[in-house]
A and B are shown apart, each in its own frame.
Chain A
Amino acid sequence: MLNTSLIYAGILLVLALIQKFLFNKLAVYGLVPDVVLIFVIFLSRREGQLFGTAAGFLCGLVTDLVLGTLGVGSFSKTAAGFTAGYFEKKESRNEELQFLICVAVTSLVHNFCYTLIANGGSVPFIKLILLYTLLGSVYNLLLAYLAYHLVLRRV
């Protein structure tokens, strides 16, 4: 378990750097695809809800240190890890569909929490729901689709 956790930590650091140097440059209307979130979802489904929640917190903390304000990412990714834990990985023909539904739901929860804490009441509620939550989730869904077919399907 220790070895696996160390591997996960290494992957997290690499993904955090990729997020900062690559994905953050792909912002559209302030929205960026979140590769660390996809990793949290992957961990939560693979290792269970408790592990996913704790991993979400740590992943969020690392992204906060690299990218922005402390506490915002850790809160939203903890909630994301917890949510993704409800979609635990099961052998099934519809594995891809299950993964994408999990990403969609978890992204909604994550983006809602993130925007709410980061912007407080300064963002109108409709904008928060439509732009940051829904469109941000679509962006993550596209990334998740690519990640599933390129990497996660084989893991």
Chain B
Amino acid sequence: MQRVLEIILAFKEYLVLVLLCSISLLLFAKSDTPALRNVRAFSVEIFGAFESTFSGLSRYVSLVDENNTLLVQNIALADQVNFLRWAKTENSTLRTLLHFKAESDYSLKAAQVIDKSITLDRNLMMLNLGSADSIKIDMVAVTDVGLVGRVILTSRNFCIVQPIINKDFKASAMIERTRGFGILAWNGESFKEADLLNIPLNTPIQKGDHIITSEYSSFAPAGLQLGTVSSVTEIAGQHFYKVKVALSVDFSALEVVFIQTRQKNIEQDDLRKRYKEFQ
């Protein structure tokens, strides 16, 4: 016993290293379990409150700047035309958003983006809507120009959206003109472009084709705009095209999004689950 204790003490650093690394790997493997999701949701709630405050402060600071700018512009009447042009553009944007909300087949809730990243491999966005606003996991975030991403985590007042520009994001997609199916995925290179995978060489596809979500998507309704084909390359010895898609949504300028509050088809989900068990 004494000898065992001596060995443990002699190698305690290594034992602690192995133990803590094992716990970390276990956390990584089980990060999708309800208990750990709850822990993440709790931390999102706390840090969401911080982020909300910071974004409020930055908005306040930008308002002060804007007022100063307007004062200068009022003095220098020559710049008034520029200001009116800017107001007209914003008015037009807001009108488009209102029109989109009125015309949509699904119930939409407007949410403000309070934090986002666009330069990382696994970009995420935090919105100021949460489970208290009936936001649930796998609901879809959209704008008037197309799909933004899917909700992957909710806390009471905030939710996290996994945008298209996240390496873990995949969506079943379709070429609108030819009805050819593929998978939209992001390779981490540019926040303006994604890849359309698994398009066989016999599928008609050309630059400018519109890409939309397909009926096979497990979370998004069919027909949402994803982008347009920007290049099609045939690679020698391969059976699929290399297709680049210019994304519809400008993620760098995203400030307001809508969450589609449609319910998941529980019967379909149940059938998929039973099929997996059957396999």
Contact = CB atoms under 8 A, between A and B. Distances in A.
| A and B form one complex | yes
Contact of A71 (B16, B25, B43, B120): B25
B119 interface: yes
Given A49-B13, A57-B20, A78-B24, 13 more contacts: A17-B50, A27-B120, A30-B120, A53-B13, A64-B27, A65-B39, A69-B122, A75-B24, A78-B21, A79-B17, A82-B13, A118-B122, A122-B167
B20 A54 contact: yes
For B20, B47, B120, the residue with the greatest tally of chain A CB atoms inside 10 Å of its CB is B20
A119 B168 CA distance: 10
A73 B95 CA distance: 44
A72 B28 contact: yes
Contacts of B117: 24, 27
B222 interface: no
Contact of B24 (A24, A32, A57, A66): A57
A85 B31 contact: no
A142 interface: no
A61 B31 CA distance: 12
Nearest to A122: B167
B167 to A, nearest CB: 7
Interface string B25-54: 111110100001001100100010011001
Interface residues of B, number: 30
Interface in A29-73: 29-30, 32, 49-50, 53-54, 56-57, 60-61, 64-66, 68-72
Contacts of A50: 12-13, 16
Majority secondary structure of chain B interface residues (helix, strand, loop or mixed): helix
B87 interface: no
B180 interface: no
A56 B23 CA distance: 13
Interface in B113-130: 117, 119-122, 124
B54 A70 contact: no
Top-4 shortest CB links A-B: A71-B28, A75-B24, A71-B27, A27-B119
A119 B24 contact: no
A65 B27 contact: no
Contacts of A74: 20, 23-24, 27
B188 interface: yes
A27 B119 CA distance: 6
A66 B47 contact: yes
Nearest to B22: A75
Interface of B: 12-13, 16-17, 20-21, 23-29, 31, 36, 39-40, 43, 47, 50-51, 54, 117, 119-122, 124, 167, 188
21 contacts: A24-B117, A24-B120, A27-B119, A27-B120, A29-B119, A49-B13, A54-B20, A56-B20, A60-B24, A65-B43, A69-B28, A69-B31, A70-B27, A70-B31, A70-B36, A70-B40, A71-B31, A72-B24, A74-B27, A79-B17, A82-B13
A61 B28 CA distance: 11
A15 B39 CA distance: 20
A75 B26 CA distance: 10
B121 A71 contact: no
Nearest to A86: B13
A11 interface: no
Contacts of A27: 117, 119-120
B40 A53 contact: no
A46 B104 CA distance: 60
Contact of A82 (B17, B28, B51): B17
A59 to B, nearest CB: 11
A145 to B, nearest CB: 23
B119 A70 contact: no
A14 to B, nearest CB: 11
A75 B40 contact: no
A78 B119 contact: no
